Chains A and B, each alone.
Chain A
């Protein structure tokens, strides 16, 4: 496995509460899964992907967790075309 260099922008994951530690009143499906945090920051020391990592967030806080993603990016979009919308407000539907 390749080591990720310090200073790289990464995302870590932390289990905040295990299923047993979660709030008492939760629906069944939510109760079964842990409460998980993801947060991005600059890697403080070089580690491998999947290892415990320390980061410095964009505001300078130091946090730790499992290194999940290198250069976490946004890829959300306008989605695939929804043909049902196209004719709304056109001559065909005036």
Chain B
């Protein structure tokens, strides 16, 4: 145990040295300016090839998940579409990974790296499926595991979904630090890393992102093998950006250059993410705009010096869906496709319905994840909990949905209609955040080139916006 000053300010001030010790990796090697860094080199210097990653993942029951055609849902969508419209909807059943979600891909390489470097254990701060994934991977590598989780409001009440995620971590043998609401989760993570000398299995390291690339590569191979073509669109639930970044990188590595990368989040506009009161008024604990928008528009707001998850680098489109729409689609998937899966994983499926309606029949849209379901992680649990917390739950037009006040479950499939976000606005918001980190007048050509790549635009676009911001 350390005897060093454990006050908030003191621990935060030691951030860089704690990070360096806990990852065996020095970000200073890649950093070029307060905004720019050598992204590709940072990812390639993990030292793992795609083949290595596949081998490592097979050892711990990760990857090679089935890709299902949702035949009945596709037909249902065609019935409400214009003639000739209604793309085939495919679903990658990531619930088949050890621990029940795609997050196993994200945790697998960190666990392997930690074991290889001789760390005694792994630490991750997360209230998502990632906790169970790290715990499950740690168990298989003979490592100890601590998961730091935001679970309760100040009354000691926890969302059923988060409580279940905590249970899963404990089931896989992890010590779970259960905390009340607050951004001090990061402080707690640093403190625990320093106390234990464990490896930082942050969601945002190059290891995490490299691990997800196999998901994109598998989709490319499975769609080509069965349909003889590339997927036209892949829909990805977006929160911190790792799922989108890793999957898109995998698709690109497999040569799917024309595949549209569509992000999707649950709209929780108006709810404050660090508010004790709002905490239990959210019926989604991840995959929502409370993470999706801030992480897209400033990825480096994370627990590592530079985030390897950079969603705007790869995103072509960003859709928002309501909580009620996702719950509706989750129930529909269960009843008509005979597949009961957790609601958070079905966020992208909801957006896929909207997309499929607008795409041609010959086209293919892939929903790239599912998650396990069970007590707590179930739309009935979430809705029942919402009702107990004074939130109105009813059937109706999802346009009347108000986050934290009313969950409106659509009456019909044709009411499921994602809201398209303005990409230009997101990119401008990113530029403004970049200007806060590094004043615009100091941006050199390298900074501009970095920003252009990070926003999937040309350097000329960045220069023009810079003049007008």
Contact = CB atoms under 8 A, between A and B. Distances in A.
Interface string A50-94: 000000011111000000000000101111111011001110010
B383 interface: yes
Interface residues of A, number: 38
Interface string B400-417: 000000000101100000
Given A58-B173, A93-B411, 9 more contacts: A22-B182, A23-B8, A35-B182, A37-B177, A38-B151, A59-B121, A76-B376, A82-B384, A88-B328
A83 to B, nearest CB: 10
B381 A29 contact: no
A25 B154 CA distance: 18
A39 B176 contact: yes
A37 B181 CA distance: 10
Contact of A16 (B121, B184, B385, B409): B184
| Interface size range of chain B in the complex | 35 or more
A76 B173 CA distance: 19
A interface secondary structure, majority: loop
B178 interface: yes
A63 to B, nearest CB: 9
Contact of A59 (B145, B164, B331): B145
Contacts of B232: none
A22 B183 CA distance: 9
19 contacts: A16-B184, A21-B7, A22-B182, A29-B275, A30-B181, A37-B179, A38-B178, A40-B170, A58-B170, A61-B146, A74-B164, A77-B375, A77-B381, A78-B381, A84-B394, A85-B327, A85-B379, A85-B383, A88-B328
Interface of B is mostly: mixed
A36 B175 contact: no
Contacts of A77: 160, 375-376, 381
B383 A82 contact: yes
B148 to A, nearest CB: 9
Nearest to A79: B384
Interface of B: 7-8, 121, 144-146, 151-152, 154, 160, 163-164, 167, 170, 173-184, 187-188, 196, 272, 274-277, 327-328, 331-332, 334-336, 375-376, 378-385, 387, 393-395, 409, 411-412
A20 to B, nearest CB: 10
Contact of A74 (B7, B167, B180): B167
A35 B191 CA distance: 14
B70 to A, nearest CB: 13
B401 to A, nearest CB: 13
A9 B468 CA distance: 62
Contacts of A33: 154, 180, 276
Nearest to A80: B384
A27 B160 contact: no
A72 to B, nearest CB: 10
